[in-house]
Structure 1
Amino acid sequence: MANNVGIVTICDYQNYGNRLQNYAAQEVMKSLGCQVNTIVNVQKIGDQNKGNKNFGELSLIWMNIKNKLWYEMNKTKVIKSRNERIKAFENFTNEHIIETDFTLKDTDFNHAQLNKYDYFLVGSDQVWNPNYRYGSPIDFLRFAPKEKRIAYAPSFGVSSISDEFVENYRKWILEMESLSVREEAGAQIIKDLTGRSAVVLVDPTLMLSKEKWLSLSKKAKNKPSKKYLLTYFLGVKTKELKKIIKKIALENDLEVVNLADIEDLKTYSADPAEFIDYINSSSVFLTDSFHGAVFSILLEKPFIVFNRNGNIPSMNSRIDMLLSTFKLLSRKWERINKNVDIFNVNFQHIPSILEFERKKALNYLRKALHIEDIILHED
């Protein structure tokens, strides 16, 4: 009889990485013969960039003023585009991710609805980021018996836990039956807090093949007919960064397409399936995003990674570890010395690394789910 598994993750209907890692975790569970859905949950959401000192305060103030002025001038269009974006993400979720018809809250654990699950899986994304999720008991599966709790490559998103969260994190991590994390920094946090060793696993998005992702993608409705440079930045797009983007585009006769940039309204409402198509069809992809780098690797597209401006250092270290794992640290902007380096990327070694990492993750999940034999298949 198939295991019934409930996924607990951030339910963010505006973030590409979140929606795609949720879908990937679901598909991995299905490939292991499990019945699976995502448990919708509602929690207080904080600022992932809390305590940032990386970006000049005066520069941030000036950029905020400019952004507010631009917003006021384009208010009607912005509101319309934001609503379209949320709707597009919700439609993607409804079509591709099986969610519960009930919602889990910090103070409302309906055990009658939860008893049908054999296991609960928390991850991936930054579900254990205390600045963002405030250390919610939901993210540590406190509503479930210990033997049903599985952590599947969750990320802390920070390099240390502040004192106010230490006691709960120590207790809750010690109670986790099967323990893994997405980054070495997270494994070190767990070791320091509890003495436990946590296996480091790749993000679920890396568990699915290029062909699987392309089958999910759909043609982006506003994709240019000519060759283009694609950007996806979650941090502040500084004046210097804009100059770099413009220079690369001009030197290589490329149009510029900006994803998730409210000032580029024609692409702002692109959904996660279009996100994949935009990357796959681009000539080069510039990003400061972890999942932006992930899909560049999976789709074997020339890409350049920039440090995230206006963000805490650990956000950049997550991408550094990803690039190190896949021997692609040469894709960092500071290592690009000439124009030819932008497009000259060697992906030949990637399949063997993916095979190793996927086997490691599947073995972990097989043990956690008490599955004897694995037959990995993709619909």
Structure 2
Amino acid sequence: MKIGILTFHHIDNYGATLQACALWIFLNSQGYDVEIIDYRPLKISWIYFRPLIPLKRLGKVFVNIPRAWKMRQFLLSNVKLSDRKFYDKKGLQYYNDKYDVVICGSDQIWCLDSFRGYNSSFFLDFINKQTTRKISYAASFGNTLKLGDYQKEIYALIGQFQTILVRDSNSLKIIKDQCNQEATKVLDPTFLIKYEALLEPPKIKDKYLLLYTQAEIGAEEEDFIKSLATNQNLIIISVGRDHKLAQINLEGAGPKEWIGLHSQASYIVTNTFHGTVFSIIFQRPFNVFVPSDKSNKVTDLLTDLGLENRIFSDKLKSQILNKEIFDIDYEPVSRILESKIGESKKYLVEAIS
């Protein structure tokens, strides 16, 4: 059986890269002939990779080529991409009937409120429904609440899916209320695989607090991080971007380094979904600053696993001095997670077959 995956795989983002790899690795382990359709919409590619083009400003060069190169090498080393790559929707018609099954997802491929906007390709409009089975896995509308002007078109496209598996309760609600279809909530594909062979252990000897952020953090949040690191005698390492709080900045870290840093951290602070996911995978003490545009997916995941108390709060701040902040009982979390992983794998394999 030949399977194509359509997702965000070509962008300079750890979470997007790892979810794409994880889905491919899991399906490959099940014996399927699977590849990621190498579709790179120019609008997305330009926005993500424009900062990587060397630009001389005030005598400085703003570039992060090392991370982009490591991201690309990680992808090419761990997944199979389609032979052809396309930068526009028209080219995708080549894959109209080349697969037995096409899976869209994971990630926020259905979010209408981001800079990416609406792209019908991620609803598989180029796939012939007569010859190819259309399914989604852990697809998400992100912070989109209403389909608006696109409701009628999305309604018709979603109606062609044999199985709809989504990542969060908001997406579940949209599919039911605005598309009149049934969907099932599953885990992000990063939960479906193990990472021993994919991580690079950090060379840092000191105990550290790992800071992984995308959105900016406020003064109160900065004070919390500084107090926690000082009280627990942790150095601060920022991965993925430079941060003034950090003693060590690893802006150019590749995915293997990123995974390894999460696996060994004494504490993790993040405001991202996948930073939260990998804190849980490696059973690290952590907390999350939840930005408004990530509240759906982050809060949804933490609620499902009984970890809502890891969201930044006054109560969490009060636990710094007595070390209660490090006390996470992962035994019940593991039981819930093990059950959900089994269910997610089952739903995906059944959807394919």
**Helix, strand or coil at the partner of 1:37:** strand
Distance 1:46 1:174 in 2: 29
1:176 maps to 2:161: yes
1:155 maps to 2:154: no
% identical aligned pairs: 27
**Helix, strand or coil at the partner of 1:102:** strand
Q: Which residue type is aligned with residue 97 of structure 2?
A: N
1:115-163 Cα shifts (integer Å, max 9, x gaps): 3321111100010011233221221111112242110010111241342
Q: Which of 335, 338, 363 matches 2:319?
A: 338
The answer (yes or no) to whether the contact 1:214–1:276 under 8 Å persists in 2 is no
Could you tell me which runs of 5 or more consecutive residues in structure 2 were left unpaired when the two chains were aligned.
48-55
| Equivalent residues, number | 333
Match of 1:328 in 2: 307
**Helix, strand or coil at the partner of 2:113:** helix
Distance 1:273 1:162 in 2: 37
1:194 maps to 2:179: yes
Match of 1:116 in 2: 98
1:274-328 Cα shifts (integer Å, max 9, x gaps): 11100111110000111111111110111111122xxxx3512211111111111
1:88 maps to 2:87: no
Question: Aligned runs of 1:1-379 on 2, under 5 Å?
Answer: 3-43=1-41, 44-45=43-44, 75-76=60-61, 78-79=62-63, 82-104=64-86, 105-111=88-94, 115-132=97-114, 133-146=116-129, 147-208=132-193, 212-220=194-202, 223-263=203-243, 266-308=249-291, 313-334=292-313, 335-336=315-316, 337-339=318-320, 340-370=323-353
Distance 1:215 1:266 in 2: 25
1:192-231 Cα shifts (integer Å, max 9, x gaps): 11221100111011112xxx212210134xx532111111
Decide which moves more: 339-348 or 37-46.
37-46
Match of 2:50 in 1: none
Decide which moves more: 257-266 or 318-327.
257-266
Q: Which residue type is aligned with residue 250 of structure 2?
A: T
The answer (yes or no) to whether the contact 1:228–1:255 under 8 Å persists in 2 is yes
Q: Which residue type is aligned with residue 330 of structure 2?
A: F
**Helix, strand or coil at the partner of 2:196:** helix
Match of 1:375 in 2: none
Could you tell me which runs of 5 or more consecutive residues in structure 1 were left unpaired when the two chains were aligned.
49-70, 371-379
The TM-score normalised by the length of structure 1 is 0.82
- Deviation beyond 4 Å, 4+ runs, structure 1: 71-74, 263-266
Distance 1:302 1:26 in 2: 29
**Helix, strand or coil at the partner of 2:197:** helix
Return the offset for 1:40. Answer: 1.1
Distance 2:46 2:173 in 1: 23
Q: In the superposition, relative to structure 1, how do residues 163 and 116 fare at CA in structure 2: closer, same or farther (>3 Å)?
A: closer
Distance 1:109 1:329 in 2: 41
Q: Which residue type is aligned with residue 178 of structure 2?
A: L
Distance 2:82 2:242 in 1: 31
Distance 1:5 1:306 in 2: 37
**Helix, strand or coil at the partner of 2:211:** strand
Return the offset for 1:73. Answer: 6.5
Q: Which residue type is aligned with residue 250 of structure 1?
A: T
Q: In the superposition, relative to structure 1, how do residues 235 and 47 fare at CA in structure 2: closer, same or farther (>3 Å)?
A: farther
The answer (yes or no) to whether the contact 1:157–1:314 under 8 Å persists in 2 is yes
The answer (yes or no) to whether the contact 2:6–2:102 under 8 Å persists in 1 is yes
The answer (yes or no) to whether the contact 2:201–2:264 under 8 Å persists in 1 is no
Flag the structure with higher helix content: 1
Flag the structure with higher strand content: 2
Q: In the superposition, relative to structure 1, how do residues 205 and 140 fare at CA in structure 2: closer, same or farther (>3 Å)?
A: same
Decide which moves more: 316-325 or 349-358.
349-358
**Helix, strand or coil at the partner of 2:71:** helix
Asked which structure has the greater RCO (Cα within 8 Å, sep 6+), the reply is: 1
Distance 2:46 2:177 in 1: 25
The answer (yes or no) to whether the contact 1:46–1:131 under 8 Å persists in 2 is no
The answer (yes or no) to whether the contact 2:147–2:178 under 8 Å persists in 1 is no
Distance 2:184 2:75 in 1: 29
Distance 2:350 2:210 in 1: 40
The answer (yes or no) to whether the contact 2:212–2:238 under 8 Å persists in 1 is yes
Decide which moves more: 257-266 or 114-123.
257-266
Q: In the superposition, relative to structure 1, how do residues 46 and 188 fare at CA in structure 2: closer, same or farther (>3 Å)?
A: farther
Q: In the superposition, relative to structure 1, how do residues 149 and 86 fare at CA in structure 2: closer, same or farther (>3 Å)?
A: same
Q: Which residue type is aligned with residue 125 of structure 1?
A: D
The TM-score normalised by the length of structure 2 is 0.88
